[in-house]
Amino acid sequence: MLKALNLSLRYSLIDLFVTGETPRLPDVDIVESQDAMRQERWAASRRAEEQGDIVKALEIHQDLLSEEAPSYAVMLRAGWLYYRLELYDVSLRYYELACSISKDDWPLHEIKKCLAALEASCSLDEPAE
C-alpha cells in the first residue's frame, strides 16, 4: 500500500509542476476499506471451514481468487480447500500456481500429498484381479 501511495504522490507532484494545480492525494480510506474487506472474507472462509462447511468456505474464498492478482496465500488456501473436498486434481493446480508465485517449497509437500491421494483413489477404482 505504501508503494502505491508513494507512486501516486509522485505523479501528483508532477501534475502540480505541469498544470499548476494542487495535487489530489489518493483516498487512503478506499485502500484500507478494500484491505478490511479482504480480511473479513478470509476470516469468514476460515470460520466456515472450522464449522465443517468446506463448500461454503470455498464459495467465500472465490471472492479472493477473483482478484486481479491473487496472492501466494490465496492460492495455497484454495489448494487446501480443494484438497479437503478430495478434489485432488484441482487442488494440485492451485498448489502449482502458488509455487509459480513464490519460490517457497512448502506447496511441494502439499503437491506430494495430493499425488499420493490421487494414486490411492485410482487404485481403489481399479478392479481387483
Query: What pLDDT is recorded for position 71?
Result: 84
87: domain CATH number is: 1.25.40
Domain residue limits at 70: 54-124
Indicate whether 37 belongs to any domain: no
In the chain, how many domains are there?
Answer: 1
Residue 26 CB neighbour total at 10 angstroms:
17
Query: What pLDDT is recorded for position 48?
Result: 95
The proportion of the chain whose per-residue pLDDT surpasses 70, expressed as a percent, equals 67
Say if residues 38 and 64 touch (Cβ distance below 8 Å).
yes
Indicate whether 49 belongs to any domain: no
Say if residues 117 and 88 touch (Cβ distance below 8 Å).
yes
pTM: 0.65
pLDDT digits (tens, 9 = 90+) for 42-98: 899 999 999 999 999 999 999 888 876 778 889 989 999 999 999 988 988 988 888
Query: What pLDDT is recorded for position 11?
Result: 45
